């Protein structure tokens, strides 16, 4: 076989055969298929889609490109969660120690930022000393001692996906439903978790802009998980407005710690608890209510142990950007829209994200929100604060906010969208 024939088949809206899929995944992993060739195939998949059979085979081929993990030796149920990516989506940080505090082990494999969305590992790396890269043995040790671990997938776990994940970020192919579903599920199935809850974001700040596409993605992933013997459910959640009051690496860590301390923004707390309850139910764990674990400090205890076990200092000051710029409210009235995508692109342009897969990120860069839709604002009051180490980025970042804010006359009735829009499975 050769890469060009596979690319042409999908370019011409053909259905790839099992041998074609097996070959191209294996050859790309070994370096026989070049990045530019896989980029062309990824774009053809984005434009022309895949059948359920193709997606299932593609996922299986990525799993078979590496090893599979097994956590049965832990002696407790395991549960994991995956978000399809959003703006200000720091939920994994408080969620993993919270679920661990309630009795399930959480082997949370996470990723880097994709496009305008933040990455869990990028956020946690703003904590001095914290390590994302752990061996399988280290991962098990942290799980045994802390009940939760958040780390990068090892080189041996779905290595085909690791290469393709980074490539999609810089080639405009992140949004392809077959590639999203197979990327997420190949890692999660190979990881060996017993239960999986998927947080499928919907709205301007998500890769799925409408409910129909989000449901298609959710159903695809739930089907892949259940076929592999993993108890899988999905929540469709709103991403028209950023989650919480921050978008950026260290900014989001700080807000996550506030949630673990029993405070934090109401929307972050609500979604964290909803996902925690789904994870515990899917894992078959009954007993402690996650809300109690936030109140009594046990979730915070698990957080501190987890961060320390991975080399981090939970008491160390978090990085702060050198420059700040305040964006004022344009009018007096009710804030009715604050576009998540625009805020995400702004944070990305300030240095919180990357344009190339090898780019570094700024730990302190990002956007701080001083109001959310439904709040009353006064013209000139601080609406957003932009944080960056490189002030020359500010004009470019401010461009992204054009049209992002809508203020209606005072007294306008406004009902925010619910956080959880639907449940699949």
The three-state secondary structure class of 324 is: strand
DSSP letter at 335 equals E
User: Active-site residue among 10, 57, 82, 304?
Assistant: 82
User: Active-site residue among 187, 188, 302, 393?
Assistant: 187
Q: What's the CA gap between 336 and 412, in Å, rounded?
A: 9
Neighbours of 410 (CB within 10 A): 12
Catalytic status, residue 168: yes
For residue 57 the two structure tokens come to: 């085979």
DSSP string, 170-191: TTT-TT-HHHHHHHHHHHHHHH
For residue 67 the two structure tokens come to: 């090893």
Q: 28 phi and psi, to 5 degrees?
A: -65, -40
> Which single residue is written with the structure tokens 């024939």?
5
Give me the sheet containing 333-338, strands edge to edge. 376-377, 333-338, 405-408
Residues 6+ apart with CB under 8 A from 183: 62, 161, 164, 165, 168
User: Active-site residue among 22, 60, 80, 161?
Assistant: 161
Catalytic status, residue 215: no
Q: What's the CA gap between 305 and 129, in Å, rounded?
A: 14
Task: Say what the alpha-carbon torsion angle 298, 300, 301, 303 is, to the nearest 10 degrees.
Answer: 130
User: Active-site residue among 183, 240, 256, 298?
Assistant: 183
Catalytic status, residue 183: yes
Catalytic status, residue 82: yes
Of 212, 185, 205, 206, which is closest to residue 196 (Cα–Cα)?
A: 185
Active-site residue list: 82, 161, 168, 183, 187
């Amino acid at each position: 076989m050769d890469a060009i024939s596979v690319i042409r088949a999908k370019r011409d809206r053909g259905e790839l055969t099992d041998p074609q899929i097996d070959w191209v995944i294996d050859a790309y992993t070994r370096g026989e298929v070049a990045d530019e060739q896989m980029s062309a195939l990824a774009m053809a998949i984005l434009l022309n889609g895949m059948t359920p059979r193709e997606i299932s085979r593609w996922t299986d081929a990525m799993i078979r490109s590496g090893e599979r993990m097994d956590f049965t030796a832990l002696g407790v149920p395991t549960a994991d969660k995956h978000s399809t990516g959003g703006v200000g989506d720091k939920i994994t940080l408080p969620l993993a120690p919270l679920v661990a505090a309630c009795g399930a082990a959480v082997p949370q494999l996470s990723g880097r930022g994709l496009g305008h969305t933040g990455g869990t590992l990028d956020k946690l790396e703003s904590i001095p000393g914290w390590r994302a890269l752990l061996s399988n043995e280290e991962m098990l040790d942290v799980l045994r001692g802390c009940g939760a671990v958040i780390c990068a997938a090892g080189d041996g776990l779905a290595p085909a996906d690791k290469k393709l994940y980074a490539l999609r970020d810089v080639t405009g192919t992140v949004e392809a439903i077959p590639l999203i579903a197979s990327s997420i599920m190949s890692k999660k199935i190979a990881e060996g978790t017993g239960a999986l809850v998927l947080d499928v974001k919907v709205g301007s700040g998500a890769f799925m802009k409408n409910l129909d596409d989000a449901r298609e993605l959710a159903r695809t992933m739930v089907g892949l998980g259940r076929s592999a013997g993993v108890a899988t459910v999905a929540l469709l959640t709103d991403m028209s407005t950023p989650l919480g009051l921050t978008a950026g690496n260290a900014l989001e860590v700080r807000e996550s710690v506030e949630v673990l301390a029993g405070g934090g923004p109401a929307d972050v707390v609500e979604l964290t608890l909803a996902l925690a309850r789904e994870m515990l139910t899917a894992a078959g764990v009954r007993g402690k209510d996650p809300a109690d674990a936030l109140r009594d400090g046990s979730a915070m205890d698990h957080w501190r142990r987890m961060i320390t076990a991975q080399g981090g200092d939970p008491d160390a000051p978090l990085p702060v950007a050198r420059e700040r710029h305040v964006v004022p409210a344009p009018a007096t009235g009710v804030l009715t829209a604050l576009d998540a995508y625009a805020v995400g692109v702004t944070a990305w342009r300030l240095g919180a994200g990357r344009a190339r897969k090898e780019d570094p990120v700024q730990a302190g860069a990002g956007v701080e929100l001083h109001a959310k839709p439904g709040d009353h604002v006064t013209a000139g009051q601080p609406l957003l604060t932009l944080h960056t180490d490189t002030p020359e980025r500010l004009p470019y970042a401010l461009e992204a906010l054009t049209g992002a804010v809508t203020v209606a006359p005072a007294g306008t009735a406004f009902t925010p969208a619910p956080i959880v829009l639907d449940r699949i499975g």
